[in-house]
């Protein structure tokens, strides 16, 4: 259990992390934004799967998944096959073009990280991976546990209340 000061610092780091994500986003092919890249990456790593499984791996709503999938399918990077066992479902599969796109993504991101993390040791990168994976688990495993937000504390002053409309 950590202290409040540490938590505030952690939140600041989370916020600032956006700049890293954007830097990474800038090197993506213009036809393949981050959402598409995530779809290709997960299909390459886990193999064929249905929409609902992909949505779970992406940790986003299925409606969002559907949009990303439509984008990559329109470019011929994946195919959507009917599932013989359940006609409501569709099985997603990388095409050869999709595999090639995935390779291109890998080349670009590796190149960027080689440059940005040139002075990081193998072990440091591994540490960061491990901690971020644990972070994701700590959040993801309690996704069904929304934290109670208590009503704001009403302070005993004569000040005009903050606008909380």
Residue 121 Cβ, how far from DNA at the closest point, in Å?
29
**What is the three-class DSSP state of 92?**
strand
Applying the rule CB under 8 A, the residues between 9 and 68 that interact with a copy of itself are 9-21, 23-24, 26-27, 29, 31, 34, 37-38, 41, 45, 59-60
User: Residue 81 contacts by C-beta under 8 Å, 6 or more apart in sequence?
Assistant: 90, 91, 92, 93
Q: Are 40 and 98 in contact (CB under 8 A)?
A: yes
Rounded CA-CA distance 26/19 in Å is 11
Using the rule CB under 7 A, is 75 a contact of DNA? no
User: Residue 15 contacts by C-beta under 8 Å, 6 or more apart in sequence?
Assistant: none
- Spell out, one character per residue from 15 to 54, where the chain touches DNA: x when CB under 7 A holds, - when not: ---x---x----------xxxx-------------xxx--
Q: Are 24 and 112 in contact (CB under 8 A)?
A: yes
- Spell out, one character per residue from 71 to 100, where the chain touches a copy of itself: x when CB under 8 A holds, - when not: ----xx-------------------xx--x
Binding a copy of itself (rule: CB under 8 A), the pick from 33, 51, 78, 146 is 146
Interface with DNA (CB under 7 A):
18, 22, 33-36, 50-52, 58, 60-70, 80, 83, 86-90
């Amino acid at each position: 259990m950590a202290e409040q000061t540490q938590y505030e610092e952690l939140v600041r780091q989370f916020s600032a992390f956006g700049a890293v994500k954007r830097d990474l986003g800038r090197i993506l092919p213009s036809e393949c934004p981050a959402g598409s890249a995530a779809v290709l990456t997960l299909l390459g790593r886990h193999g064929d799967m249905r929409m609902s499984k992909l949505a779970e791996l992406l940790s986003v709503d299925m409606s969002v998944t559907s949009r990303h999938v439509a984008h990559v399918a329109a470019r011929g990077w994946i195919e959507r096959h009917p599932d013989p066992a359940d006609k409501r479902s569709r099985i997603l599969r990388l095409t050869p073009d999709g595999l090639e796109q995935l390779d291109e993504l890998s080349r670009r991101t590796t190149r960027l990280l080689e440059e940005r993390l040139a002075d990081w040791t193998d072990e440091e990168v591994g540490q960061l991976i491990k901690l971020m994976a644990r972070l994701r688990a700590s959040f993801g495993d309690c996704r069904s546990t929304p934290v109670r937000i208590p009503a704001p504390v009403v302070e005993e002053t004569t000040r005009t209340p903050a606008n909380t409309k």
